[in-house]
Structure 1
């Protein structure tokens, strides 16, 4: 197996429920010296393309349909204009996709084509992507958004958790959880079967392990009554 993981951290903004937040996002580039899959290209396509270099982009995977996971997808997918890479998103986040690209189309006549854009791949639970001898298994984890997913690679010993799970708590963008109960259920189902030393690479913040997060999972149910950290 030749696959490795490169990480790019970018800064940008995301709008949730009409409120704009500053955010730092993790983009992961998985592959070998020849080809890669890009997970959650966010905010700064130039920085991500620089890390990709001359390697071919085989697919772009969005772990959810929030703004910051869509903002650079077209630039990364179309790095090779003659052979664009397919963009994958879970079917239950298509509404977020439509809202994002139709809003862009309204702002700029040159972007009008975006109102009819659709993802190339409807990602579903149990699907598998392969790159550099490694497999990325799709795990549907609704809660943060209806179509949130994580990607698990046994060969690499990692879980790409998107914004479903961050270090030390359920993932979120902004002040509120979309559906905390579903998110906690998803996290519990996700963590239980995986080896405890599996690295967790989240969409924001530092990495952690399955064992560290599984040990805290039950305590997170109190977050439903916790005051916002922004208050």
Structure 2
């Protein structure tokens, strides 16, 4: 098994409910010397593609449809290829389709060329993620786990062989994940986190969409204490 994980940290903006937030996001590149899968291509496509180098991007996985995970998605999927037929497939959960469409509709509004605007409005993910779906790269499997709450279509990605959980913005170190401290559906998010953590080995690394890594054991020990957050949200 030659698979390894590389990380790119970038800063940018995310807009939720017409409020703009400054965020620092993690992009993860999983693969070997020849092929990679990119998870959450946030903010800076140029930096991500520099890390990818000459390797082929086999897929781009978005753990949710918020704009910081979409603003580099087309450039990374293209990876310098002009012919769209050679672009890597982009994967998103169907329940975040509205977020996807909103993002690309906003991009289209800023496009002066009507043909380009029409093309942006018609862009769709190539793969609709499903719970239990599997991606294979460099001898390892990436398993999709639907973890709604942060957004309806939030997913986490588990790799047993590497002992890693990519938790997106469902779970951050020491707290449920959020953008700007805003929670969409805290109760559902906490249920997703509990279901996600319980069956996994305690030493599993958790690589979140924002912030530093943690472990399943550390976050599982904190999970029950977060119930008060759901009460505050109510």
TM-score normalised by the chain length of structure 2 = 0.95
Correspondent of 2:185 among 179, 186, 191: 179
Q: What's the CA shift for 1:226?
A: 5.0
Q: C-alpha separation between the residues in 1 aligned to 2:213 and 2:25?
A: 12
1:81 equivalent in structure 2: 82
1:149 equivalent in structure 2: 155
Provide the alpha-carbon RMSD of the alignment.
1.0
Structure 1 position 4 matched with structure 2 position 19: no
Q: C-alpha separation between the residues in 2 aligned to 1:207 and 1:201?
A: 5
2:137 equivalent in structure 1: 131
Q: Which runs of 5+ in 1 are unaligned?
A: none
Alignment of structure 1 residues 82-97 onto 2, 5 Å? 82=83, 83-97=86-100
Correspondent of 1:164 among 161, 170, 184: 170
**How many positions carry a matched residue from both structures?**
227
Q: C-alpha separation between the residues in 2 aligned to 1:95 and 1:75?
A: 21
Q: Which runs of 5+ in 2 are unaligned?
A: none
Structure 1 position 105 matched with structure 2 position 108: yes
Correspondent of 1:219 among 203, 218, 225: 225
For residues 47-67 of structure 1, the C-alpha deviation after alignment (integer angstroms, 9 at most, x for no partner) is 000000000000000000000
Q: What's the CA shift for 1:105?
A: 0.2
Q: What's the CA shift for 1:102?
A: 0.5
Secondary structure of the equivalent of 1:216? helix
Q: C-alpha separation between the residues in 2 aligned to 1:224 and 1:137?
A: 28
Q: What's the CA shift for 1:175?
A: 3.2
Q: What's the CA shift for 1:81?
A: 2.9
Q: What's the CA shift for 1:224?
A: 3.0
Secondary structure of the equivalent of 1:115? helix
Q: C-alpha separation between the residues in 2 aligned to 1:199 and 1:63?
A: 17
Q: C-alpha separation between the residues in 2 aligned to 1:81 and 1:52?
A: 17
Q: C-alpha separation between the residues in 2 aligned to 1:175 and 1:148?
A: 17
Secondary structure of the equivalent of 2:88? coil
Q: What's the CA shift for 1:176?
A: 1.9
2:48 equivalent in structure 1: 48
TM-score normalised by the chain length of structure 1 = 0.96
1:118 equivalent in structure 2: 124
Q: C-alpha separation between the residues in 2 aligned to 1:4 and 1:179?
A: 34
